[in-house]
């Protein structure tokens, strides 16, 4: 591989979810150009504290605009509209630590699908996956055995995985993160730059020197609208 996209994501962040969906959909094309994609679980709350940022919904104007942006993103990324869960704000520490364990011990596909489900259960099904029993239910739905689930949940409370999530979060901060999804991208020339958000892929493809047509407007006569 000649380039790499390191994606720093938290299941609490709907935009991380959209970005993960989009990168997975484009992975085959990216790999055909020698670009590898890797997802790293982080704790967005820690990124906010470490960078001095605040969640966008804490500023009334951003919260109001966010509703429009969120609906547009769902439409663009082809997912049902999300709704703010009843248990908002969501605590993602335990699920994120579980993901680090799963990433280390299971195939990539299982890890990434589990990440996507965490967001889907919270934002589409209103299920509080920070609760161990709900987390266990979600893991079961991904065919983790009872024994696996016990190990994953125990790991999430262990010093090793507490430290691992802190380290991933610190790494993102060191790479300039102030929100999620945060990306660190290396191009074929070995240059590296950060990108923020699920709406910056056109810039990322430009940086990587990839051919793309996603955001080109098609002339009316040629469009099948
Ligand atoms: N425009 C970005 C927004 C991403 C975003 O708002 N991420 C939230 C977490 S879900 C965040 O960390 N925001 C920090 C900020 O906007 O300063 C996108 O479309 O992806």
Task: List the structure tokens of 89.
Answer: 């704000």
Rounded Cα–Cα distance for residues 53 and 179 (Å): 8
Work out the number of other CB atoms within 10 angstroms of the CB of residue 54: 13
In a domain, 54, yes or no: yes
CB of 17 within 8 A of CB of 129? no
In a domain, 53, yes or no: yes
User: What is the ipTM for the molecules in this complex?
Assistant: 0.99
Rounded to two decimals, the pTM is 0.97
Identify the residue whose C-alpha is closest to ligand 1 atom 3: 197
pLDDT at position 211, please? Answer: 95
DSSP string, 105-146: HS-HHHHHHHHHHHHHHHHTT---TTSHHHHHHHHHHTT--H
Domain count, the chain: 1
Task: List the structure tokens of 84.
Answer: 């703010």
| Residue 51 domain boundaries | 3-210
What lies within 8 Å, CB to CB, of 197 at 6+ separation is 15, 19, 179, 181
3-state class (DSSP) for residue 184:
strand
**Pocket of ligand 1, candidates 8, 14, 180: which has the most ligand atoms within 8 Å of its Cβ, to mutate?**
180
In a domain, 74, yes or no: yes
Distance 206 CA to ligand 1 centre (A): 21
pLDDT at position 53, please? Answer: 97
Is the beta carbon of 50 within 6 A of some atom in ligand 1?
Answer: no
What lies within 8 Å, CB to CB, of 169 at 6+ separation is 42, 43, 46, 47, 50
In a domain, 216, yes or no: no
| Residue numbers in the chain where pLDDT is lower than 70 | 225
For 102, phi then psi, to 5°, come to -65, -40
- pLDDT tens track for 34-92: 999 999 999 999 999 999 999 999 999 999 999 999 999 999 999 999 989 999 888 99
Identify the residue whose C-alpha is closest to ligand 1 atom 4: 197
In a domain, 15, yes or no: yes
Is the beta carbon of 51 within 6 A of some atom in ligand 1?
Answer: no
The pairing of beta strand 3-9 with beta strand 182-186: antiparallel
DSSP string, 38-65: EEEE--HHHHHHHHT---GGGSHHHHHH
In a domain, 222, yes or no: no
Task: Please give the distance of CA 190 from its chain centroid, rounded to a whole number.
Answer: 24
Rounded Cα–Cα distance for residues 66 and 57 (Å): 7
Is the beta carbon of 13 within 6 A of some atom in ligand 1?
Answer: yes
Task: Give the catalytic positions in this structure.
Answer: 13
Return the residue matching tokens 């991380």: 16
Distance 51 CA to ligand 1 centre (A): 14
pLDDT at position 20, please? Answer: 98
Task: List the structure tokens of 180.
Answer: 């999620």
In a domain, 42, yes or no: yes
pLDDT at position 1, please? Answer: 82
pLDDT at position 222, please? Answer: 86
Rounded Cα–Cα distance for residues 7 and 40 (Å): 6
pLDDT at position 194, please? Answer: 98
CATH code of residue 83: 3.40.30.10
pLDDT at position 225, please? Answer: 61
In a domain, 225, yes or no: no
pLDDT at position 121, please? Answer: 97
Going from the C-alpha of 74 to that of each of 17, 59, 167, 199, the distances in angstroms are 10, 22, 31, 12
């Amino acid at each position: 591989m000649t380039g790499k996209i390191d994606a720093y994501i938290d299941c609490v962040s709907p935009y991380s979810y959209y970005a993960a969906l989009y990168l997975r959909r484009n992975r085959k094309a990216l790999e055909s150009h020698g670009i590898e994609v890797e997802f790293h679980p982080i704790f967005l709350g820690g990124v906010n504290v470490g960078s001095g940022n605040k969640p966008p919904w804490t500023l009334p104007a951003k919260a109001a605009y966010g509703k429009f942006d969120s609906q547009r993103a769902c439409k663009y990324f082809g997912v049902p509209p999300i709704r703010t869960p009843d248990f908002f704000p969501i605590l993602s520490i335990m699920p994120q630590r579980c993901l680090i364990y799963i990433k280390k011990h299971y195939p990539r596909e299982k890890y990434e699908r589990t990440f996507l489900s965490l967001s889907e259960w919270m934002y589409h099904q209103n299920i509080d996956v920070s609760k161990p029993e709900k987390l266990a239910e979600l893991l079961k739905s991904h065919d983790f055995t009872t024994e696996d689930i016990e190990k994953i949940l125990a790991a999430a409370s262990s010093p090793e995985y507490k430290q691992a999530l802190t380290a991933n979060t610190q790494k993102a901060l060191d790479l300039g993160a102030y929100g999620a999804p945060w990306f660190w991208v290396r191009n074929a020339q070995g240059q590296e730059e950060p990108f923020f958000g699920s709406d910056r892929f056109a810039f990322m493809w430009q940086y990587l020197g990839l051919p793309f047509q996603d955001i080109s407007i098609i002339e009316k006569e040629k469009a099948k609208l």
